[in-house]
Structure 1
Amino acid sequence: MEESKVLKVENLNVYYKNRKRKFFSGTKKIHTLYDVSFEMEEGEVLAIAGESGCGKSTLARAIVGINKDYTGTLWQKYDEPQMVFQDPYSSLNPAKKIGWLLEEPLKVDKKRKWTSQERKKRVEEIMGEIELPLEMLDRYPSQLSGGQRQRICIGIALMKSPRLLIADEPVSALDVTIQAQIMELLQNLHKRLGISIIFISHDLRVVYQISDHVMIMKSGKVVEYGKTRDVYKNPQDEYTVQLLKAAGIRQ
């Protein structure tokens, strides 16, 4: 495998169990992704776009290992890619303070035993990276704004210094002003840390702002893939044309 590659997916088919429809042979599997193939370069921002239900999040869950029921090849250069989810509030335990939530990934780290002092130092470093004051460590999630909570979710994902971050609709639950701030934070983190990012969104304007390459999905299949500027300027698939028109990007 080329050293420049951080991720390579070939003929990936993903399934999940439909527990509501049982047959004599057991629980029926539902086929959700069909022969998905793409590559991702080290340090790249790849956007995955498409309407709700097209398979974007299903693909992300397969990459991070949440859904392991698949066939095909899913090769990754680094272990433990981390994921930032859409809803920052439901992602955080409301009964725990922010400091505890940030330390938790280090407490359960199987590769390294962190001392209390090391954990606290790492938490302070991450608070600086996500641009939040240290006094917030003593607060509960309910005491933070939506944008601040999403910054904490990003911070938790960064605690063990992953080389691949998957952001699944990370700004869709936020208002426009806060969206812009979180987008700027992700772009700054990408530049400072050199991490690779898979950015999932249905908003093609946001996708254009952040991505190097874009992959358009429909009904569990990839219908278009290429450099973001090329796809937006000269889309090859009619579905991509429709999405761009709906977003007011093309006439």
Structure 2
Amino acid sequence: MVSYQMEKEKVLRVTGLNVFYKNRKRKLFSRKNKKIQALFDVSFDMDEGEVLAIAGESGCGKSTLARAIVGINKDYQGEIWQKYGRPMMVFQDPYNSLNPAKRIGWLLEEPLKVDKERKWTSEERRKRVEEIMQEIELPLSMLDRYPSQLSGGQRQRVCIGIALMREPKLLIADEPVSALDVTIQAQIMELLNNLHRKHGISIIFISHDLRVVYQISDHVMVMKNGHVVEYGATRDVYRNPQADYTIQLLKAAGITK
């Protein structure tokens, strides 16, 4: 008997992406503002509910790719197709991601206040905030606090909560645990895993830490100098890496000898 497996829906497709930025270090007396190419012919796609890790050293183009996908960097050639529109993003630094002058409740409600697709009543916004606080495992008493009154891990939970307020189908987490200590890193990784399992949300997880990448991802894409050097199922890449650069990264992380 032949069995057929349903092909999963695609949530994101990137084709032939070349991303540029302006060189702001002008030479004296030069009127040219030359563009620098940051990404070179990057192509990949994501299934709905997948966790894709983008790995590589600092400066390899991971964050540049993320910013192009969410629409921050619009200077590119190629195609970015997204089934559900632009994803939400969780940034690396929870200390600078939150407005220090606003309380946590206000910060969580703000995405709903500016929602152009739906008009939320104050009661609906409050209910949604309470739901999210439960999701990110923070007590409601923290809604009246300012970011400075929270720990780094608590702030990152709030950042994740803000990104989830409008129930996005795709979340980009750009080095979300690199600014936290090891114990808190594990807690945030567990939170992301729980959210993924519960809601089936697709996640692009960006990290330079290959040990962290292995914990969460279904597939991994390794980047170097703006190029994709390896892509595949995480277990396959870790057990049998093909690119010399991937082998070097795994050895440096103490994963292979």
Q: TM-score by structure 1 length?
A: 0.97
> Is 1:8 aligned with 2:13?
yes
Map 1:74-93; keep pairs closer than 5 Å. 74-93=80-99
Q: Which residue of 1 aligns with 2:165?
A: 159
Identical positions, percent: 82
Q: How many residues are matched?
A: 249
Q: Secondary structure at the match of 1:79?
A: coil
Residue 3 of structure 1 and its aligned partner are, at CA, apart by 6.3
1:140-188 deviations in Å (ceiling 9; x for gaps): 0000000000000000000010000000000000000000000000000
Query: Aligned partner of 1:19: which letter?
Result: R
Runs of 4+ in 1 over 6 A off after TM superposition: none
| Partner Cα separation in structure 2 for residue 61 and residue 178 of structure 1 | 26
Of 53, 73, 80 in structure 1, the residue corresponding to residue 79 of structure 2 is 73
AA at the equivalent of 1:110: K
From 123, 144, 166, give the equivalent of 1:138.
144
Greater share of strand: 1
Q: How far off is 1:110 after superposition?
A: 1.2
For 1:14, the aligned partner's letter is V
Q: CA deviation at 1:118?
A: 0.9
Q: CA separation in 1, counterparts of 2:13 and 2:202?
A: 13
- The letter for the 2-side match of 1:181 is Q
Are the aligned partners of 2:8 and 2:47 in contact in 1 as well (CA < 8 Å)? no
Moved more, 53-62 or 73-82: 73-82
Distance in structure 2 (CA, Å) of the matches to 1:152 and 1:240: 33
Deviation at 1:28, TM superposition (A): 1.6
For residues 187-239 of structure 1, give each alpha carbon's deviation from its aligned partner in whole angstroms, at most 9, with x where no partner exists.
00001111000000000000001000000000000000000000000000000
Q: Is the 8 A contact 2:53 2:206 kept in 1?
A: yes
**Aligned-pair CA distance for 1:80:** 2.8
Distance 2:113 2:11 in 1: 27
> d(CA) in 1 for partners of 2:173 and 2:108?
18
Give the residue type in structure 2 aligned to 1:5.
K
Q: CA deviation at 1:19?
A: 2.3
Check the 8 A contact 2:18/2:40 in 1, yes or no: yes
TM-score between both structures, scaled by the size of structure 2: 0.95
Q: Does 1:98 align with 2:104?
A: yes
Q: List runs of 5+ in structure 2 lacking aligned partners.
A: 1-6
Q: What are the superposed Cα offsets for residues 55-110 of structure 1, whole Å, 9 maximum, x if unpaired?
A: 00000000011111100011111113000000001000000000000001111111
AA aligned to 1:168 is D
Aligned to 2:23: 18
Asked if the contact 2:51/2:219 (under 8 Å) is kept, the reply is yes
CA distance in structure 2 between the partners assigned to 1:50 and 1:92 by the alignment = 27
Distance 1:3 1:70 in 2: 28
